[in-house]
Amino acid sequence: MIMIPKSHPRYHSLIQREKLVEGVKKGITAMQGLIAHGRGEMFDYVLGEKTHDFAWEAERVAVAMMLLAKRPVISVNGNTAVLVPEELVKLSNILNAPLEVNVFHFSVERVRRIAEYLESFGAKVLAGCDAELKGLEHGRRIVDSRGIMIADVVLVPLEDGDRCEVLKRHGKMVIAIDLNPLSRTARMADVTIVDNIIRAIPNMIEIAEELRQSNRAELEKIVHSYDNREILRRAVEAIRDNLTEKAKELLEL
Amino acid sequence: MIMIPKSHPRYHSLIQREKLVEGVKKGITAMQGLIAHGRGEMFDYVLGEKTHDFAWEAERVAVAMMLLAKRPVISVNGNTAVLVPEELVKLSNILNAPLEVNVFHFSVERVRRIAEYLESFGAKVLAGCDAELKGLEHGRRIVDSRGIMIADVVLVPLEDGDRCEVLKRHGKMVIAIDLNPLSRTARMADVTIVDNIIRAIPNMIEIAEELRQSNRAELEKIVHSYDNREILRRAVEAIRDNLTEKAKELLEL
């Protein structure tokens, strides 16, 4: 891995890129994942690279929902696996929600590598690839019969547009982490966390450590008052206001 | 190339991604180019993935400027080469402006591969790598003594931030194609086309077919009235208005 000085103004962003390029070399990340990451990077940039209040709110509801769930599952793709492996394992343990490998660019070999990579951090990983979600053509349809197939709540960080809809049609509650508040996934999900996963997952760990003491009534209260459309509206407005501000600064130069 | 179902809601975007991934496998595109593409994708998305009036205006001025130029050159990097090779050749022929290979992640091998790829579509390609633009440290400094080195007008689709400034210091007129109206390149260029190259190059071909009948006075009139700062302002406003509109739609779902 290339050495990047910690003093570099874009240190965190460059480290993430290096992890993904390393991921490609290890056969974990798909090259298409690099493009998707670039897209997310720019959304994060126009959001000011911080967790906004609307994201904190969604993260809190997401954790409550997963603690209330009978069979919660955390879906993991190649990008997620290389960016936050330790954090995923920690969140999985606290929420008692297994990690399931699920990728768009499917191969048995790739799924195995992602699973092994996560297991090296101590994760319990589902990667059976023995069931199929009807209504999808690409690799995302291939799931584990003990995991997503029978889950009631699925956390999907870095999701492809159409799977969210299919998961909904299969009667599941979907929590998405998506930096694009306008995406199909963002609009189809029950809870949309508009935040970078490198902040969202640690935030969720922190929240989970607090909320796991709560009883069901308290958790239900958190979930009950939630309005995802309102969250998305606030996220879009934050991007708009941030861009308008940047444009003013630049055009006045 | 991986098969993408035509039913996928983001089919065209995925096809572009596949071309870039193929480009990496062929040694034409750099992996970093994939991440950069993703960043551009995001801006295209918030612009509504269409050519706006401010882009058409800039494309028209760009073509007029190149028709007026003594030694116009079209600079081509790895991403541009794989996304619009045939279109570049066509534009190069109409404008009588050679293509010159110029890349950030330089190697003689990579430049050769890009040149051969473009030549396979019938291009005249400059790839001498026998001159240096003072003031730049990375691969972009290496140019052709018959091309960018002596050009008066350079079209730079998909540019890196600092080269535009150096080209300006070398006394050249710069036309940039950049989906981010806030970038350094966008602000340094004489003409900034805020449009996706897969639309911009075909548009410029169309405009060139019309304008090549024009005399110098007519072309000069088109160039004369142009204000790039105003174009950038309109681009930023288009993004802002598009986001405002989308935020409204989100709430009305």
pLDDT tens-digit map of A163-215: 888 888 889 999 999 999 988 899 999 999 999 999 999 999 999 999 999 99
Question: Which residues of chain B does A236 touch, with a Cβ-Cβ cutoff of 8 Å?
Answer: 243, 246-247, 250
Q: Which stretches in chain B have pLDDT values below 70?
A: 1-4, 8-9, 160-161, 251, 253
Q: Say yes or no: A182 contacts chain B, CB-CB below 8 A.
A: yes
Q: Which of A186, A187, A152 is nearest to A167 (CA)?
A: A152
Say if strands A99-101 and A125-126 run parallel, antiparallel, or are unpaired: parallel
Rounded to whole angstroms, the Cα distance separating B195 from B126 reads 26
Pure H helices in chain B: 11-25, 31-46, 53-68, 78-83, 85-95, 108-119, 161-169, 184-188, 197-211, 216-224, 228-252
Nearest CA in chain A to B23: A31
CB B157 within 8 A of CB B80: yes
Average confidence (pLDDT) over A124-139: 84
Question: Which among A43, A105, A230 is the nearest to B42, CB-wise?
Answer: A43
Tens of pLDDT along A44-64?
988 999 999 999 999 999 999
A-B Cβ pairs (cutoff 8 Å, strict): 117
The β-bridge partners of B131 are B143
Q: Say yes or no: A34 contacts chain B, CB-CB below 8 A.
A: yes
How far A198 CA lies from chain B's nearest CA (Å)?
17
Close Cβ partners of A249 (under 8 Å, ≥ 6 residues apart): none
Angle between helices A53-68 and A85-95 (to 10 degrees): 50
Close Cβ partners of A151 (under 8 Å, ≥ 6 residues apart): A69, A71, A72, A73, A172
DSSP A235: H
Cα three-residue angle A47-B18-B107, rounded to 5 degrees = 90
Coil, helix or strand for A203? helix
Average confidence (pLDDT) over A127-138: 82
Q: What is the residue-wise DSSP string for A81-137?
A: HHHSHHHHHHHHHHHT--EEE--SS--HHHHHHHHHHHHTTT--EE----EE-TT--
Report pLDDT for A1. Answer: 47
Q: Say yes or no: B41 contacts chain A, CB-CB below 8 A.
A: yes
Rounded to whole angstroms, the Cα distance separating B36 from B24 reads 13
Q: Say yes or no: B1 contacts chain A, CB-CB below 8 A.
A: no
Asked if the Cβ–Cβ distance from A251 to B243 is below 8 Å, we say no
Query: Which tokens go with A102?
Result: 């699920």
Q: What are phi and psi of B76, to 5 degrees?
A: -125, 125
Rounded to whole angstroms, the Cα distance separating B10 from A95 reads 33
Close Cβ partners of A237 (under 8 Å, ≥ 6 residues apart): B243, B247
Question: Which among A137, A181, A237 is the nearest to B5, CB-wise?
Answer: A137
Question: Which residues of chain B does A20 touch, with a Cβ-Cβ cutoff of 8 Å?
Answer: 35
Residue A141 has pLDDT above 90, yes or no: no
Enter the pTM of the model: 0.86
Whole-complex ipTM: 0.79
Report pLDDT for A94. Answer: 96
Asked if the Cβ–Cβ distance from B233 to A253 is below 8 Å, we say no
Question: Which residues of chain B does A230 touch, with a Cβ-Cβ cutoff of 8 Å?
Answer: 251
Asked if the Cβ–Cβ distance from B250 to A20 is below 8 Å, we say no
Asked if the Cβ–Cβ distance from A161 to B9 is below 8 Å, we say yes
Q: Say yes or no: B217 contacts chain A, CB-CB below 8 A.
A: no
Q: What are phi and psi of B176, to 5 degrees?
A: -110, 145
The band of A128, judged by pLDDT with boundaries at 50, 70 and 90, is confident
Question: Could you give the count of Cα atoms lying within 13 Å of B139 in the half-sphere of its Cβ?
Answer: 17
Q: Say yes or no: B251 contacts chain A, CB-CB below 8 A.
A: yes
Asked if the Cβ–Cβ distance from A162 to B9 is below 8 Å, we say yes
Q: Which of A133, A174, A131, A135 is nearest to A152 (CA)?
A: A174
Query: Which tokens go with A40?
Result: 């997310």
Asked if the Cβ–Cβ distance from B35 to A38 is below 8 Å, we say yes
Asked if the Cβ–Cβ distance from A247 to B45 is below 8 Å, we say no
Q: Say yes or no: A49 contacts chain B, CB-CB below 8 A.
A: no
Residue given tokens 């962003």 in the structure block: A13
Q: Say yes or no: B18 contacts chain A, CB-CB below 8 A.
A: yes
Rounded to whole angstroms, the Cα distance separating B37 from B13 reads 11
Tens of pLDDT along A16-55?
888 998 999 999 998 888 999 999 998 998 899 999 999 9
